[in-house]
Amino acid sequence: MIKELENLREDEVNTLLDAPVYVAILIAGADGNIDKAERKEAVDVAHSKQSRAREQLVDYYKLVGERFEEKFGSILDTLPTKVEDRNFAITSELRKLNFILPKVEKNFAVKLHASLKDLAKKIAESSGGVLGYLSVSYEEAKLIELKMINDPSL
């Protein structure tokens, strides 16, 4: 277990470890369709963050990466298929972070929040557009700021 998560309950740790998966599904499915490019980008970004994340998050992303692809499929299977219902369920899950992030070291919480927003942006940019430009859909643009998660730096 990484030191930043030592003081959390098991359910809180699981919520933190599942957060990137929920963000990926939220953004990839924002337009109603989770295409292969978005799913692949989610997996690729999660794996790349194991070595290229902010230094304090590397161990966190190693834990996330161990089960990201498997969790992506299993969580997606449990969520409603209708976009509005799925987004509501994911938003509710991500709001749990508002009670967990204040329990971890502030610098870790701030970096994790920024990293989740970065993940959302990269997934949104992975599909559509002309040569990768202007590829963020209106639906994705409304969600990539992850406004359901309070900014821990404030």
Angle, nearest 10°, between helix axes 10-28 and 58-78?
70
Burial per residue of 65-102, b for 16 or more beta-carbon CB atoms within 10 angstroms, e otherwise = beebeebbeebbeebeeeeeebbebbbebbebbeebbe
CA distances from 117 to 11, 17, 23, 33 (A): 22, 15, 8, 20
Task: Write out pLDDT tens, residues 138-151.
Answer: 777 788 899 999 99
Q: What is the pLDDT of residue 128?
A: 54
Q: What is the pLDDT of residue 84?
A: 93
Give the whole-angstrom CA distance, residue 134 versus residue 67: 31
Query: How many angstroms from the chain centroid is the CA of residue 61?
Result: 11
pTM of the model: 0.90
Sign of CA dihedral 27, 30, 32, 38: negative
Q: What is the pLDDT of residue 134?
A: 52
In total, the chain counts a number of residues equal to 154
Q: What is the pLDDT of residue 131?
A: 45
Q: What is the pLDDT of residue 126?
A: 72
- 8 A C-beta contact, residue 119 and residue 24: yes
Give the whole-angstrom CA distance, residue 70 versus residue 61: 15
Residues of the chain under the 50 pLDDT cut: 129-133
Q: What is the pLDDT of residue 32?
A: 83
Domain coordinates of the chain in residue numbers?
A: 8-143
CA distances from 7 to 2, 66, 105 (A): 10, 22, 10
